Structures are given as structure tokens and as C-alpha cells.
Amino acid sequence: MSTEPSIFSRIIAREIPADIVFENDAVIAFRDIAPKAPVHILVVPKTQAFANVSELAAGDPALLATVVATAQAVADEYCDGEFRLVFNTGPSAGQTVFHVHAHVLGGTLSEGSLGQ
């Protein structure tokens, strides 16, 4: 893991602006700057200790449960509770920031927008 702060850590520290829709002591949720759906919100743990969802599940399952519960709350507010929850793990799977995060995707998704 890099010792440099991730872009998400910099958002958490308010060094980079973001459209924040939810925040508590454990997680922050904000709109993706390159949305792949009408609703595309990232749910990010405030710790940079885990690069991907597998590491988070093994290292802090309670925090993973908080991420999922936050995703549901965000979806309830922004897309009537109907959503896809996507975790990309590894560069070939589309992960570009190695600070675990969940993509909440909702609204009317186009055919094939993220596979089935």
C-alpha cells in the first residue's frame, strides 16, 4: 500500500472538493465525477488501510457492513432503494484507486451499462 494519501483520503481531509451526500465517523459518500448511471455515488471508508473489498472483509467485517448499510441508505434516498453495489478489485477489473470503495449505481441503467 502506498504511504501517499489516496484521492479519497484527500477528499476526506477536504483537500479536494467533492459533492458529499453522507458522512459519519466511519464512512463518507459522494457523487462520482464520471458517473456510469443516473445515480453514481461512492461509499468510502475513512481508513486507507484496505485496498479492496476482500482485504476489508478479512480485516474489518463490521466496517464492510457499515459500507453496505450506507449504500442502502444512500440508495433509499436517491434511487428508491433500488441499486447495484459494485466493488472493483484490481486494475484489470477497473479499480483505479486502491482505497476500498463501493459504487452505488441506480436510476435507469442503459442496456449493458455495467454488464449483467
Residue 115: pLDDT band with limits 50, 70, 90: very low
Give CA–CA dist 23/64, Å, rounded: 15
pTM: predicted TM-score of the whole model, two decimal places: 0.90
Domains and CATH numbers, the chain: 7-106 (3.30.428.10)
For residue 51, pLDDT over 80 is answered with yes
Question: 13: helix, coil or strand?
Answer: coil
Please give the positions annotated as active site: 101
Residue 3: pLDDT band with limits 50, 70, 90: confident
